[in-house]
Amino acid sequence: MLEAEHLVFAHPGQSTSYDFSFTAEPGEVTAISGPSGSGKSTLFDLVAGFLKPESGTLALDGQNLIHMLPETRPVSLLLQADNLFDHLSAEDNVALGLSRGTHKAEARRRIADVLRQMGLSALAHQRAATLSGGQKQRVALARTLLRDRPVLLLDEPFSALDDDTRRSIRTLVRDLTVRQCWHTILVSHHADDIAALASRRYQLKDGVLASA
């Protein structure tokens, strides 16, 4: 279980102070909603290790994460910006999600598999710069899923997808979360995403995270 207890943080020069407490169970999707600017990105940055809280605890199965560097945390993060390398192919962008030292044959198999699941096989060798917004979002999500870390943070992961693709990719994320026992935390403004995926829900209001 991923547990945060009174993670307190305030951005320099801002009056708002955040206080985050939540739990996320393995194999479940935890949804977080709230208006723009309410602190959802701040929460993700704290869990991922890009920000350090003033106080509080963050632990995964009893392991303290607070003092771990971002690159060593068991966390995968998908931001709203796709952060792809435009000069690389879809396949090469996805490959960046693999751990160093992955055997070449295993790497090819895993990359091909996730591209197929995302409906991107035909675009594997196409440069990211030539892809549509929805295709780029699927490539970025494929790269994130390929990291296969216990904590998966998703910030509006389906926003650029058409309705049919959105439904199929939501199903994929849900099924992988269950199969891999991930602690998936979803930020979304779309009620349909939350209804389709969330096992538990939190609402951010006035800097405080509370059960919805």
pTM of the predicted protein model: 0.93
Contact between 10 and 207 (Cβ < 8 Å): no
Domain-ending residue, one of 133, 148, 163: 148
Is 79 within a domain?
no
Q: Are residues 67 and 158 in the same domain?
A: yes
Q: Is residue 17 part of a domain?
A: yes
Q: Are residues 122 and 182 in the same domain?
A: no
Same domain, 55 and 155: yes
Say yes or no: 20 and 108 in one domain: no
Rg (CA), the chain: 17
For residue 200, report the phi and psi dihedrals to the nearest 5 degrees: -145, 155
Both 62 and 101 in one domain: the answer is: no
Name the CA dihedral angle for 56, 59, 64, 70, rounded to a multiple of 10 degrees.
Answer: -90
Alpha-carbon separation of residue 173 from 20, 137, 141, 191 (angstroms): 25, 14, 10, 16
Q: Write down the number of H helices and E strands in the chain.
A: 6, 10
- Tell me which residue has tokens 């349909």: 192
Predicted pLDDT of residue 13 = 83
- 81 in any annotated domain: no
Residue showing tokens 């949804």: 31
Residues 22 and 113 in one domain: no
Judging by beta carbons within 10 Å of its beta carbon (0-12, 13-18, 19+), is residue 20 exposed, middle or buried? buried
User: Is residue 133 located within the same domain as residue 172?
Assistant: no
* CATH number of the domain enclosing 53: 3.40.50.300
In a domain, 157, yes or no: yes
User: Which range marks the domain in which residue 16 is found?
Assistant: 1-74+150-212
Torsion of CA 133, 135, 138, 144, to 10 degrees: -80
Q: State the pLDDT at residue 102.
A: 76
Q: Are residues 128 and 160 in the same domain?
A: no
* CB of 77 closer than 8 Å to CB of 44: yes
pLDDT on residue 92 = 94
Domain-located, residue 80: no
Same-domain status, 154 and 200: yes
pLDDT score, position 79: 86
Q: Are residues 4 and 63 in the same domain?
A: yes
User: What is the C-alpha separation between 94 and 82, in angstroms, rounded?
Assistant: 12
Residue 39 lies in a domain: yes
Annotate 60-85 with b (16+ C-beta within 10 A) or e (fewer). Answer: beeeebbeeeeeebebbbbbeebebe
Whether 155 and 143 map to the same domain: the answer is: no
What pLDDT score does 103 carry? Answer: 80
pLDDT tens, the chain, 212 aa long: 999 999 999 989 887 889 999 999 999 999 999 888 788 999 999 999 999 999 999 999 999 999 999 999 999 999 877 789 999 999 999 999 888 777 888 889 999 999 999 999 999 999 999 999 999 999 999 999 999 899 999 999 999 899 999 999 999 999 999 999 999 999 988 899 999 999 999 999 888 888 88
Residues 167 and 184 in one domain: yes
What domain count does the chain have? 2
